[in-house]
Amino acid sequence: MVTIYDIAKATGLSPTTVSKVFNQYSDVSEKTRRKILEASEQMGYIPNAQARTLTTKRSWTIGVLYIESSGAGLLHPYFGGVIEGFKKVATSKGYDLMFISKHIGGKKGGYLEHCKLRGIDGVVVVLPDYTDPYFKELLDSDIPCVLLDQESDLKSTISSNNMDGSKQAVDYLYGLGHRSIAHISGGTTYAGEQRLQGYLKAMEQLGLTVLPEHIIQGSYDYTVESGQKAMEQLLALEHLPTAVFVAGDNLAVGAMLAMKKHGLNVPEDMSIVGYDDIEMAKYLTPALTTIRQNTYALGSRAADMLICSIEGGSEARPQTDQIAVELVVRGSCREV
C-alpha cells in the first residue's frame, strides 16, 4: 500500500508537506499541491479516512437534504444539474456526499439527529420545506447549511436570478408586439414568488396593464397536470391573452397540452415562454422558448459556499448569491 512517505520520496518533498496537502492546509503553494496530487494519483494512493478524520476533527461528509413532492425524485431536472455541479466541487476537495432523512434505522428521528449521528460536517438543502419542524430544527442548529431557492437570515442561500428571468421573458414578448401577457405562477414557493414579482415589475416598467384574471396560480410542485389546469382557467376567460409567461417548463408543457385539447395551436393562437430549460423543452412541438437556469453553476457555487462555511468554523458568516439566467429562443412564440 502506498503511503505519504512513498509520495514524499517520489516528489522530493517532506512527509509533513504531503500530509498538509491531503488535509487541505492553505500554507502550501498551488505548484506543490499539484505536484503531490499528480504523484498520488499516478501511484494509486488512497487516503486513510479514519486518520484524516482524527487529524482534522471533521468527517469529510456533506449531507444532501432533498425534499421533492412531485414524484420525479432524483430524476427531477432541477436536482440532476444541481447535484452534478455540487458533487464535482465537493469531491474534488475531499468530501463525500450522503443523503439524510428523518428516518434512521427504521425509526423516526430528525434531520439534525441524523447529521449528529453520522458526524456530518454540513448540509446542502435542495427544495426545502419550511413547514417541517425538523427542518427548522436543522436551521436553528450550528451545522453549516446552504439553501437553494430560499431566503434565510441564519444560513447561506443561493438561487437563480428569478426576477431578471421574468423580465427577460416579458421584454421578449413585448418586443414581438404582445401587449396582453398572462402569467401562470409557480405557487407559493420562493422561486414562484420571485418570478411573479419579476413579471409584475416588468409589466409595470413597460406600461402594460395586468388583469387579475390573467394571473393563474400553478402548483408549488410545478407539475404538468397543474399547468393543464391553469391553462384551462385561462381559456375559460372571455378575453384571452396573446401570450403567457409560465413559471416552469413542466407547467408550460401542461399549458400546451390544454391548448391542443381545445384545438388551439402554439404559437399561432397563443405564444408561450417557459422557465428552466429542462431537457424536454427542445424536443416539444413547437420547441419551447424558455429561460435557462444554470443548474450546474448553482450546484458548484453552493458547494464552494458550504465548504467555506465548514472550513471557516464559527467565524464564517452566511452568504447570499445569485446565478444569472438567459433567454433561449425557440419556436413557441410569434410576432403579433
Question: Could you report the per-residue pLDDT of 309-318, keeping only the tens digit for each?
Answer: 998 866 678 8
Sign of CA dihedral 301, 304, 305, 306: positive
pLDDT mean over 13-33: 84
Distances 173 to 43, 151, 158, 170, 336 between C-alpha atoms, Å: 58, 29, 28, 5, 10
| Per-residue pLDDT, 41 | 84
53 has pLDDT over 60: no
Distance set, CA 1 to CA 18, 45, 48, 79 (Å): 16, 8, 11, 38
Out of 25-39, 145-159, 197-211, 276-290, least confident range: 25-39
Would you say how long the chain is, in residues? 336
- Between 108 and 254, whose confidence is greater? 254
How far is Cα 200 from Cα 52, in angstroms, rounded to an integer?
A: 52
Q: Give the residue with greater pLDDT, 211 vs 25.
A: 211
Report, as an integer, the average pLDDT of 257-267: 97
The pTM is what? Answer: 0.80
Look at residue 224 in the predicted model and tell me its pLDDT: 92
Question: Within a 13 Å sphere around the CA of 146, how many CA atoms are in the beta-carbon half?
Answer: 30
- Give the range with max mean pLDDT: 18-27, 50-59, 84-93: 84-93
Is residue 107 very low, low, confident or very high in pLDDT (cuts 50, 70, 90)?
low
Return the closest-CA partner of residue 101 out of 144, 132, 142.
132
> So what's the pLDDT on residue 46?
66
8 A C-beta contact, residue 134 and residue 102? yes
- pLDDT value of position 255: 97
**Taking all residues of the chain, what is their mean pLDDT, rounded to a whole number?**
88
**pLDDT of the residue at 203:** 98
Digit-coded pLDDT (tens) for 214-259: 999 988 778 899 999 999 999 999 999 999 999 999 999 999 999 9
pLDDT value, residue 320: 93
Distance CA 333, CA 336 (A): 10
Q: Tell whether the model's pLDDT for residue 325 goes beyond 70.
A: yes
- Check the CA dihedral 330-331-333-335 and report its sign: positive
Name the nearest CA neighbour of 119 among 96, 140, 136: 96
Place of cell 421578449: 172
Tell me, what's the pLDDT at 302? 96
Residue with the larger pLDDT of the pair 223 and 287: 287
**Per-residue pLDDT reduced to its tens digit, 163-199:** 999 999 999 999 999 999 999 999 888 899 999 999 9
